[in-house]
Chains A and B, each alone.
Chain A
């Protein structure tokens, strides 16, 4: 149980470190801001109102309009655009004199056309000398799009049969939310839950590469401990810190009003995911010579791991593939949105976690045992991989082992 001694002291020192505490709370603050942004984005989309991408500047640009039906004008963002009813000639004069940025014209019979299911053609004239024109164009496009979606929904609703008495044994199921809502409610929530896991790579890097940089690794290897004790002890300390961070993070998410079903199960899966993630980071830390090298390696590894987590999740949304459950992020998305999950699917995900953990910690321990990796001259990654796979064992090691056996 020597690894527990290492884990306990490393954890204690990390938590007591002022530098760590500052980073810890800054990360919490940054993640809290993420929640706020995503929350507001979700609310905006759910309200079916135009989503403005412009800054909230009232009266940012003047626009002349000719919309006798008033349908489009009502939906234009009056906070950003100051609207003025004008005829074509008046608008043209104002455009020439630079008093307005654009002129938006809607056919007078627009409401009738929509009711008849016909196309409505609107025209936007813009003053190309004015840099504000792009904002006006975005606002008008956004309004047209939102209005079009709302009208389509309303049109479909009018054809939906009402007051149907339910027939026994027949249930109505709906599938497929609109993509933006799926992204916000499911994917984003899952991404947010996994985000803290990617913020603590520096801890394991500091713990392992730091030993090399500070040259304390010699002292560490002189201790009556196995390499497994050292690697597992150090990794466990980081996993414990991450468990704490994930718990705090989930409290913030719940506090921010996110709907999170099966919260405990979700926590367990996110926590279990930290184990292989720390293991993979430990491989990089053990192989790296210094912080710089580890930082570069970590960036590439985290891009790869993010893909490994997110792509199956997107695959699941598109075609509900069973294999997508390999990714813990898929499991978290399904659990947090209240989907029923069978034991087989959970086992699949857990098996994936266990396999990656065994491989990553096994590799890290093997690397840590190698003098060349710790003291140099370090072999290249290709050579090392071949050696680990038993494809390129040097003659010296083989003859030495044979002599020991004899």
Chain B
């Protein structure tokens, strides 16, 4: 039975997951504090945040693994309180640790989960073979899980999360502890799924979020601190570009002149270096002319999500 949570949200057929006023505590620790978050259909939403921010708790509640103290989550219109089984069948979940049943062979594990997810018996074999091929594990299908490296386990975990061809996939730190090559392979899998599925990706790796996500939510102390496309978030912090100019003896007069340029959003001095945030590249040469021969080294840098992350956390502390 589909539930109506909020007229504004439900009339928008674009919303696949809607977290409404979620709160959860563990003893005296408040993991989620009135969290509100919407995920659109077919979008890849990244959730970033420091350790203990509440990412895993929010995900566990959405997957009906855990109950909230307060609030509700609607998944495709179904409430976690009333239709947990229906929601579970819509979601493919990849937990943080790729813990699998060690004594199972890879192929048997996928068959087991296919049965538990209610995949029709006649389709199971074909589905399992497709997934083994997708994650490049066909040659290891008859090997036991306990013989696999962490990277291979993660591949099988991804296949396991996809056995029932879910509409929603939730990845919790999918590349954590993996070598760069395996991480890149996992990102490639996620990228392949983008567009067809609604995906939530929790990650500590800002470049991963930047590379893959349509939108990013910054979660801290159980609340959303900021949310938007990676580009929007980066612009909010430093503009579109950062100009780094090392000079001999920075002068106040220089700073006044540079701050007067239209494209300059912010100017900071650190040691003997000007850090100038620009919203366009148009006036770079004019800025450098002001400094003349006193400019020893010039560098440009694109703002990253990491800058957003650090800046947001610093603002919270202030």
Do A219 and B95 form a contact, CB below 8 Å, given A214-B102, A224-B117, A371-B67?
yes
B317 to chain A, nearest CB (A): 28
Name B65-99 residues within 8 Å CB distance of A: 65-67, 69-70, 81, 85-86, 88-89, 91, 93, 95, 97, 99
A223 touches B112 (CB 8 A): no
Interface residues of A in 200-233 (CB under 8 A from B): 214-216, 218-219, 221-226
CB of B88 within 8 A of CB of A13, answer no
Mark contacts of B101-130 with chain A using CB atoms, 8 A cut-off: 1 yes-contact digit, 0 otherwise: 111100000001101111000000000000
Q: In the complex, A403 Cα to B22 Cα: how many Å?
A: 13
How many chain A residues touch the partner (CB < 8 A)? Answer: 25
- Chain B: which residue is nearest A18 at the CB level? B103
B100 on the A face (CB < 8 A): yes
Tell me if A404 is interfacial: C-beta within 8 Å of chain B: yes
For residue B265, give the distance in angstroms from its CB to the closest CB of chain A. 44
A219 to chain B, nearest CB (A): 6
* B97 → A minimal CB distance (Å): 5
Contacts A5-B116, A224-B117 given: A216-B81 contact, CB under 8 Å? Answer: no
A403 to B102, CA, bound (A): 42
Interface status of A2 (Cβ within 8 A of chain B): yes
Residues of A within 8 A of B93 (CB): 219, 222
Interface of B is mostly: loop
CB neighbours (8 Å) of B112 from chain A are: 5, 9
| Residue on B nearest A226 in the bound complex, by CB | B85
Which listed residue (A218, A223, A396, A400) contacts B60, Cβ 8 A? Answer: A218
Q: Is the CB of A216 within 8 A of B89?
A: no
A376 lies within 8 A of chain B by Cβ = yes
Distance between Cα atoms of A2 and B115 in the complex (Å)? 9
- The answer to whether the Cβ of B63 comes within 8 Å of any Cβ in the partner chain is yes
Q: Which residues of B contact A375 (CB under 8 A)?
A: 66
Partner of B70 from the list A13, A215, A400 (CB cut-off 8 Å) is: A400
Provided the pairs A222-B63, A223-B116, A377-B26 are in contact, do residues A216 and B104 lie with their beta carbons within 8 angstroms?
Answer: no
Contacts A224-B116, A225-B88 aside, 13 further interface pairs with beta carbons under 8 A come to A13-B104, A214-B101, A215-B95, A215-B97, A218-B95, A219-B95, A219-B99, A219-B160, A222-B88, A222-B93, A224-B85, A375-B66, A400-B69
27 contacts between A and B (CB under 8 A): A6-B116, A13-B103, A13-B104, A214-B99, A214-B101, A215-B97, A218-B65, A218-B95, A218-B99, A219-B95, A222-B63, A222-B65, A222-B93, A223-B88, A223-B116, A224-B85, A224-B88, A224-B118, A225-B116, A226-B85, A376-B26, A377-B26, A377-B27, A396-B69, A400-B69, A403-B70, A404-B81
Per CB-CB distance, the 7 closest pairs between chain A and chain B, nearest first, are: A224-B88, A224-B89, A215-B99, A221-B65, A222-B93, A224-B85, A5-B115
